[in-house]
A and B are shown apart, each in its own frame.
Chain A
Amino acid sequence: MNRPTTDHATLADKFNENEPRVNWHDETLWWVRAKRDRQAWSIPEWELLRETASQIKLNVLGNLHDYLIQFEQQALQNGAVVHWAADAAEHNRIVTTILQRHGVKRMVKSKSMLTEECHLNPHLQANGIEVIDTDLGERIVQLAKEPPSHIVLPCIHKKKEEIGELFHEHLGTPAGNADPQFLTAAARQHLRQEFLQSKAAITGVNFAVAETGEMVVCTNEGNADMGAHLADVHIACMGMEKIVPERKHLGVFLRLLARSATGQPITTYSSHFRKPAPGKELHIVIVDNGRSRQLGREDFRNSLKCIRCGACMNTCPVYRRSGGHSYHTAVAGPIGAILAPNLDMKDYADLPFASTLCGSCSNVCPVKIDIHQQLYKWRQVLVQEGHTSGMKTAGMKVMSAVLSKPGNYKKAGKMGRWVLKAFPGMVNNRFNPWYKQREMPAPPKQSFSEWYAEQQSTKK
């Protein structure tokens, strides 16, 4: 079997080397999930809200062509410059060209998973432009030279002592100080200087309103606003699925987003950018990068409803115990596992298998994406397209032969019980992935059918 060294199972193994860390990661995310539940339960209309949001997004997918044109027209009337990028490379080129035209050498960026997806930072760096990530969590992973491990909580995998170390090294804070309050204050000082000096700012987009051409950006820290309002040039990068039809629909999504994400009633700032401030420039980059292809996949198009709240990650038993980096893609967790194969089936063939299909992700999703069903469907597609290992296919064929014929099943059961008893080493070894972190069960004396038959005969 030739598995790339970066597949989910291998990377999860690495994450699991430190058991107390895994337990802490698991419990922290579950705590966020519990906060989400409390918020959801406090709204009697929660389920109606989810259903409404899902239907609005379905309407968006069915009218996306017209909505995109409407959004563009409105944005142009508002005085913004609209760019279209077919893929990541074009997105990066557009952003670089705007920055070069303004002679920008160093600039601030607030959180945008799209720019992570497009690998914008390394591209800008290669062109001599330094990007300072300004979301605290993103700044921390940037200093650590790592990608974010969670779309809402970028450095959830890091302990405060490690962050204290990083700040000591890069920002000159005293060694050994790992107090979150102190470290946050140090980052505030450091990043204020960057905001004040930056001539350009990049932000993501949470929602783009077709009716008005305005974009809503949500943060708790205020970094998107500090960057965008102080800079001469604001570049907003958006995946084309961020559209909502009308302004009033924002009410539905803003009620759901932060409650689902972190269990807050709303983010501190929900900023509505419509026109550039006098004398300034507002650029909007609308990015496809595989989204139009996903739109054409009937089984998977609903993944484009995603509002990037991260609830599916916080609840996922696999994500919580394997960490975001094990997904080796910008958007980790269950939603990432149904988005990534669309970008590259071969590279991300492992991800739909990194799930127990328990369905918890679908249950918390604020726009009711059938995430676990899509994971299951991706598995079929990946096997049919030949992107899974030969070992797995052979195993499945044996399994199918055994399970489809009662005679074979009985024989195999008998054999299995005998092997487990006589040669436990045959299954309790490192070649059996199920043996990792667990003992194989003791073999029962007889099968259920045998036991049942025995009961029936003793009754008589």
Chain B
Amino acid sequence: MSSREQILAAVKKNQPEATMLPSLQGLSGNMPATLEAYRKVLESLGGSLFEINDTAQITDLLSEHYPHLQRVVFADDKRKWVNDDPHQLEDVDMAVVTGTWGVAENGAIWLTENDIAVRVLPFICQHLAIILPRERILATMHDAYEKMGAPQTGFGVFIAGPSKTADIEQSLVLGAHGAKSLVVFVLG
């Protein structure tokens, strides 16, 4: 008997009586789905937020707040780099991607493989910018999964704030292995 069959047989024999799945109604409570609520949590995570009316404003805002950027990559500007070896993205200073959903309760933004063009992009860049249409801000994770539905891509990720660690004496340090900073441009 293979390990698979052996394991499954043991599980079948030992598992308890099946119970019903609970309802997920009423878990969201009165959490607000507002920009103010989202901003508050994002800033507490070390992220920053700018309201914009047009994506054309982004370049100016970036050069104002990040004066030393050398290589900036826009995920929707699918030029040659998309087909390059992902290791070539190592010198990206700033990646700009568009988020699908934002979650006010925890500051997370859902990005799929389609949004980021190359899976490693939002992790390997030194700094990350996410564009989020204002009407895409939801209250809780339950709302997010309801909107997301079944997965359409091979990879997706919630990103909430910059990469961080507190492994050394619980001192919070931003910029562990992923982006050292996160800026969210709320559009509209």
Contacts and interface: CB of A to CB of B under 8 A. Distances in A.
Interface of A: 28, 31-32, 43-45, 48-49, 51-52, 55-56, 58-59, 61-65, 68-69, 78, 84-86, 90, 134-137, 140, 153-156, 158-160, 163, 180-181, 183-185, 187-188, 191-192, 195-196, 212, 214, 220-223, 225-226, 229-230, 240, 245, 247-252, 254-255, 262, 264-277, 286, 288, 292-293, 295-296, 298, 301
B158 A270 contact: yes
B151 A274 contact: yes
A165 B45 CA distance: 30
Contact of A252 (B6, B27, B120): B27
A195 B177 contact: yes
B168 A28 contact: no
Given A229-B120, A265-B107, A267-B160, A180 B4 contact: no
Contacts of A156: 170
A254 B141 contact: yes
Given A191-B177, A268-B178, A269-B178, A184 B86 contact: no
A44 B10 CA distance: 40
A48 B141 CA distance: 15
B176 A222 contact: yes
B61 interface: no
B167 A188 contact: no
B173 A247 contact: no
B8 A45 contact: no
Contact of A250 (B29, B124, B145): B145
A273 B153 CA distance: 9
B177 A265 contact: no
Contacts, number: 256
Contact of A293 (B14, B18, B177): B14
Given A62-B17, A84-B2, A292-B7, A265 B28 contact: no
A52 B157 contact: no
Given A229-B86, A267-B160, A65 B8 contact: yes
Contacts of A271: 155-157
Nearest to A153: B167
Contacts of A86: 3, 6-7
Contacts of B4: 84
Given A44-B29, A59-B19, A64 B175 contact: no
7 contacts: A136-B165, A180-B173, A184-B165, A184-B176, A220-B164, A240-B11, A268-B178
A365 to B, nearest CB: 17
B164 A221 contact: yes
A226 B178 contact: yes
B63 to A, nearest CB: 25
B175 A188 contact: yes
B159 interface: yes
Nearest to B30: A44
Contact of A63 (B15, B108, B146, B156): B15
Interface centre among B108, B141, B145 (most CB of A within 10 A): B141
Contacts of B157: 225, 269-272
B166 A262 contact: yes
Interface string B95-107: 0000000010111
Contacts of B150: 212, 247
Contacts of B56: none
B151 A214 contact: yes
A233 to B, nearest CB: 14
A184 B158 contact: no
A62 B15 contact: yes
Given A262-B166, A292-B7, A269 B15 contact: no
Contacts of B54: none
B160 A137 contact: no
B24 A251 contact: yes
B111 to A, nearest CB: 10
Q: Which 8 A-B pairs have the closest CB atoms?
A: A222-B178, A275-B154, A296-B14, A221-B176, A265-B106, A137-B167, A292-B10, A229-B120
A136 B165 CA distance: 8
A266 B106 contact: yes
A277 B41 contact: no
B86 A68 contact: no
Contacts of B123: 222, 225-226, 229, 269
B76 interface: no
Contacts of B106: 255, 265-266
B27 A268 contact: no
B15 A61 contact: yes
Contacts of B78: none
A301 to B, nearest CB: 6
A298 B169 contact: no
